[in-house]
Amino acid sequence: MEAYQVLQGPEGYLPPAAAMHGITLGETGQALIEGRLVKKEEAVGHIAKKLLEATTPTFFPGPLLLWKTTSYALERGKLIREIAAEVNAKVIPMPDYRPKYPMINPEVEINPNHPNLTIWFNKIDVGVFIGVHCHQANLALKIIRGGTGCYTVALCAEEGHEEANTSLRETDNDTLRELLAAIKDLRKKGA
Amino acid sequence: MSAKNLKEVSTEYMLFKAEREEQFMTGSEAVREAIRRSNIDMSIVYPITPQSESSHLVGDLYAEGYVKEYLRGENEFAVMSEVAGGAMAGIRMFTATCGPGTLRAFENFPMWSGARLPIVIAFMTRAINAPLSIQPDNIEMSMLLDTGMIMLHAENAQEFYDMLLMSFSVAERTSVHIPVGVFVDGFFVTHTRQKVKVVIEDVKLQGYDPAMSPTPTIDMETPPFRYMKDPFVMKSNYVSYAAHASWQQECMASIERARPYIKALMGDFIERENPGAPIQIVASGTAVSQSRAAIKMAESEGIEVGLVKIKSIRPFPAEEVKKALATAQKIIVPEFNRVGWLAREVASVIPNNDRMVKGPRVFGGMTMPPDVIVKAIKGDTRCGV
């Protein structure tokens, strides 16, 4: 049987959980590209390239970033805005996880219960999750992979996400600076 | 010494480096010794035989200052609901139950998993009514197989002690963060005295950090909690059905993610004896001990028999079991329950099921004399099946 790959969607009706098909999160210093364990540096370069190639790249900051007021979190927010500006990306927040009545406004927010609505409405081709609690992030990532053509990236502060097309783990602010530097470097090279 | 004065250490230190002393104790007392070192914030329990003694002893630990809070609930459903509340608030919880108590509490177990609560619970299994029986039987394990919790099955008091100590670390990993049930066959382990090597250093496990939770914890001081834990209402078109389906998948994935962490602390998921033997016994819990005695009896008659001991039921070591039984000509699965849940699990992962003897099985409090297993080795497939 062929090894499962976590490829850009739409994968179809209710894709499997990647962890059930042998995709593992790896260890510190590793990252995931489409289910393959790679070195973190390779994944950072890959994310930079994906963001630069995208037509409608979008960052989805979650509650762990939006509601934090520590100096570290504020710095993190500034870095995200800087990266977003560098690749001309939108920022659409995921402020909470509750079901929205009667429905979300896909123009201004994304929600883990219907993440595909925001992707479709804004025609997002690369979406980056940061600061979303891991459980809700995995729900949203899998639904997006199942029903949309959006390439997903997870910048996770913990152990990473098999459900994302590309995932970093233990993403600290230094890693965000590495991503920003990689984007600038690629741009200099004509990307 | 009060818990607050104990030095915090890693689970690896506690399991592999801390000074130990061999003591003679019951399985219930082994629970007390494990919880003494586990830095528990709160334990809520309700008495039910044969679990009662262990929970009583955890109460003693509260009196001694090793457990910060200790309550008796009104019944098992209340207890497991209250335990959920504590875990949602971000504190380390421990509880225990068995048999009819497990069933009375049952709705809570898949809820624990769905809410990603890292609760550690000891099940000291007992027969299910009716007729009422205060006797050993592990049929409740078959009912818990798909509740989304990790399930470890200890053979003896030493394993019970070590598995409890390691479970907090596994349950509380961000990528796992689901309940861990540590099971023993009630009475056989809880009410017999065995030699158990317990930690005697003045140490306790590092505390739980709720900031690592994959879901928001209850914290009314930090916005916007009140928005976060609104009921996940599965109605109409406000929530995609795919969200609920993906939620369930995520819980199952969490069990899979636990594999490397369990292995690092427990060792291999299976243990083997006589791996080349044409006849293999597959067992878990105290059926392993009875199987070891049966293997010696068979050997004395010139029959070569091997053993595959399974320590983790969820996640189930499918590949390990398949590989271990690849060349077996006959496979015996002795169990302390009527339904043969372990035989079903084994049958689901190996080819050529006609090699299997799905027994012997005893239940309702019956013991399993080793000669019953020897009979199965020799071809009697009827005991309890």
Boundaries of domain holding A133: 28-186
Q: How many residues does chain A have?
A: 191
Percent above pLDDT 90 for chain B = 89
Task: Provide the chain A residues 20-79 that lie in CB contact (below 8 A) with chain B.
Answer: 20, 24-25, 63, 67
A12 touches chain B (CB under 8 A): no
- Whether residue B174 and residue A158 make contact (CB cut-off 8 A), yes or no, is yes
Nearest to A133 among B215, B232, B257 (CB): B215
* Number of domains comprising chain B: 2
- In Å, what is the CA distance from B372 to each residue of A135, A146, B295, B378? 48, 52, 11, 10
Domain closes at, from B187, B211, B235: B211
CATH of the domain at B339: 3.40.50.920
Q: What is the CATH number of the domain that holds A150?
A: 3.40.50.1220
- B211, B235, B256 — which closes off a domain? B211
Mutate to test the interface with B, among A28, A104, A113 (most CBs of B within 10 A): A113
Q: Which of A96, A100, A133 shows the shortest C-beta gap to B238?
A: A100
Task: Kindly provide the ipTM of the predicted complex, given to two decimals.
Answer: 0.95
Give me the domain span that covers residue B180.
3-211
Ranges of H-type helices in chain A: 40-53, 63-66, 71-86, 115-122, 134-147, 173-188
Tell me what the pLDDT averaged over chain B comes to: 94
Q: In chain A, what residues touch B116 (CB-CB under 8 Å)?
A: 135
Q: What type of residue is B94?
A: F
CB contact under 8 A, B175 and A158: yes
- Is the same domain home to B178 and B69? yes
CB B214 to CB A134 under 8 A? yes
If asked whether residues B285 and B206 sit together in one domain, one would say no
> Could you say which DSSP state residue B270 is in?
E
The answer to whether residues B15 and B115 belong to one domain is yes
- The verdict on A93 touching B (C-beta cutoff 8 Å) is no
Q: Closest-CA residue in chain B for A18? A: B253
Q: Quick one: what percent of chain B has pLDDT higher than 70?
A: 94
> What would the pLDDT profile of A36-86 be if each residue is shown by its tens digit?
999 999 999 999 999 999 999 999 999 999 988 899 999 999 999 999 999
pLDDT surpassing 60 at residue B1:
no
Q: Looking at the structure, do residues B302 and B196 belong to the same domain, yes or no?
A: no
* B51 secondary structure, DSSP code: T
Query: pLDDT of B300-318, one tens digit each?
Result: 999 999 999 999 999 999 9
pLDDT tens digit string along B353-372? 999 999 999 999 999 999 99
Q: Domain boundary at B162, B194, B211, which?
A: B211
Q: Is residue B57 part of a domain?
A: yes
Tell me if B345 is assigned to some domain: yes
- Per the structure, the count of domains in chain A is 1
